[in-house]
Amino acid sequence: MATAAKSREALLANYETVIGLEVHVQLLTNTKIFCGCPNVFGSDPNTNVCPVCLGMPGALPVLNEKAVEYAVKASQALNLRVNERSIFARKNYFYPDLPKGYQISQFDRPLAEHGYIDVPAADGGKKRIGITRLHLEEDAGKSMHDGFVDSASKTYVDLNRTGTPLAEIVSEPDLSSPDEAYEYLTRLKEIILYTGVSDCNMEEGSLRCDANVSIRPRGQKELGTKVEIKNVNSFRFVRQALEYEIQRQAEVLDSGGTIVQETRLYNPSEGRTYSMRTKERAHDYRYFPEPDLLPLIVDATRQEAIRSTLPELPEAKRQRLIAEYGLSDGDAATLTATQSRAALFESEAGKAKSPKRLANLVLSELQGRLKAAGLEFEDSPITMAGARMSADLLEEGAISSKILKELYDHAFEQKLDFPAIYEKEKPQQISDTGEIEKMIDEVLAASPKQVEQYKAGKTTMIGFFVGQVMKASRGKANPALVNQLLTKKLG
């Protein structure tokens, strides 16, 4: 393994990678982009269709204003400049799942241009990835190659998806590693989810990604021949496909071969890409302006009205949490991974005796146990409200951290929230002053050196004594009482 890794490194050392990503996001409108058919997933095949989305002669498209609003909102969240005037165009090609013989898309005048997403860079800083454009278009139908008794000889077509509103988001070729591509996609999805314009469900195809990748010898100015990897259905697989593809291209070039411009498919179970079709010539889609639709006008007033509905976006929220709760970048990212998680945390933090203690508990004790159990926050037996109760008890000194850990263990074993497990197994805490004083005397007698240091002015030693007494009580002494009695005894 070590030699394989080393040879991969040596192989790639001479090359530079250039990656660009195209992401299609289905917009969560109630109806399709150019007709009134329901925009829902999972209906019986060919039930959500009408003359418009079936491409019947004479049927005319009517633009769904909600789709425009959502696409503008996504553009603003991705720092794109929205054009006041954009044009719909026909993209002509023949395919069984495209009944009109063309797709209504946008070509030379897209809805929005010149955006960016900042991603974490390998050096620990941030790298800005440009977004070339976001345009509106309609989705095609779906060819179904499997699942029928006669699938060996026939393909079926389901046109429910035809006319689903899509935002296509095209990045600049600014990405220089599979890891950066993964980060870009993760952040893009997070931002879109925060805006609420798509559910970004990759299993249902609400978010789809194509990657263009090429390599060139370091120092060479012109780009290498690019290969397109299509329809990869998870971000992890996109990263794996890119890693495989970069190595494949380096091996071809090293052995004196040339890269063929082509489209490839990734097979996750084999961990490799396969050639799907070669592109000897660029596609000629014979774009022309859609004669049945007026230019799309989104003036400054409308843009501002839409902007005012944008929520606080993940990056801004992270920076605020870092400032308010003293969190690390990584911890803030964990708490803001979904909007609902961040909202739950903030609502409980607002009620907690110590919001910082709550944050620390959630990120250490709770997250550690979730990780070990392979669970997400959303599946945790201990809810955010339960975590807040435990943080408050700890803050008041009503339970020790040792007991808290035990209660968390029990909560996970019995799948109970913290209030329930606390009620059930309420720790028998020692609050008897005499009993605690006895333990304190024993601890002080056994640590003369530390007592001397404390009396010489090193008052931070108090933590050591508290720890020793808690240990002697097997975590059951009331920590607040221990602290109080110790301070008194040490004068």
Provide the minimum distance between the beta carbon of 104 and Zn ion in the complex, in angstroms, as a whole number: 13
Provide the minimum distance between the beta carbon of 162 and Zn ion in the complex, in angstroms, as a whole number: 8
Q: State how far the Cα of 102 lies from the Cα of 33, in Å rounded to an integer.
A: 15
Report if residue 169 touches Zn ion, rule: CB under 5 A: no
The contacts of residue 158 (CB under 8 Å, 6+ apart) are 45, 46, 141, 142, 144
Report if residue 140 touches Zn ion, rule: CB under 5 A: no
How many residues bind Zn ion (CB under 5 A)? The answer is: 5
Q: State how far the Cα of 389 lies from the Cα of 348, in Å rounded to an integer.
A: 9
User: Between residues 53 and 140, which has the closer beta carbon with respect to Zn ion?
Assistant: 53
Provide the minimum distance between the beta carbon of 45 and Zn ion in the complex, in angstroms, as a whole number: 14
User: Between residues 133 and 161, which has the closer beta carbon with respect to Zn ion?
Assistant: 161
Report if residue 50 touches Zn ion, rule: CB under 5 A: yes
Query: Which window, 43-51, 117-125, 281-289, 290-298, contacts Zn ion (CB under 5 A)?
Result: 43-51
Provide the minimum distance between the beta carbon of 299 and Zn ion in the complex, in angstroms, as a whole number: 29
User: Between residues 56 and 446, which has the closer beta carbon with respect to Zn ion?
Assistant: 56
What is the helix (H) or strand (E) element at residue 157, kind and residue range?
Answer: strand 156-158
Report if residue 59 touches Zn ion, rule: CB under 5 A: no
Looking up tokens 């080393």, which residue turns up? Answer: 6
Q: State how far the Cα of 382 lies from the Cα of 388, in Å rounded to an integer.
A: 10
Query: Which window, 51-59, 149-157, 256-264, 360-368, contacts Zn ion (CB under 5 A)?
Result: 51-59
Query: Which window, 31-39, 100-108, 281-289, 481-489, contacts Zn ion (CB under 5 A)?
Result: 31-39
Give one word for 309, left, alpha or beta, with left for phi > 0 and alpha for psi -120 to 50: alpha
User: Between residues 38 and 217, which has the closer beta carbon with respect to Zn ion?
Assistant: 38
Provide the minimum distance between the beta carbon of 159 and Zn ion in the complex, in angstroms, as a whole number: 9
Q: Tell which one of 21, 33, 53, 411 touches Zn ion (CB under 5 A).
A: 53
Q: How far is CA 125 from each of CA 30, 107, 329, 333, rounded to the nearest angstrom? A: 41, 35, 11, 15
Q: State how far the Cα of 145 lies from the Cα of 383, in Å rounded to an integer.
A: 43
SS3 of the chain: helix, strand, coil, percent, to 5: 40, 20, 40
Q: Tell which one of 27, 37, 207, 393 touches Zn ion (CB under 5 A).
A: 37
Provide the minimum distance between the beta carbon of 180 and Zn ion in the complex, in angstroms, as a whole number: 39
Strands 262-267 and 227-232: parallel
Q: Tell which one of 35, 78, 321, 361 touches Zn ion (CB under 5 A).
A: 35
Q: What are phi and psi of 338, to 5 degrees?
A: -130, 155
Report if residue 332 touches Zn ion, rule: CB under 5 A: no
Provide the minimum distance between the beta carbon of 287 and Zn ion in the complex, in angstroms, as a whole number: 23
Q: What are phi and psi of 206, to 5 degrees?
A: -70, -20
Interface with Zn ion (CB under 5 A): 35, 37, 50, 52-53
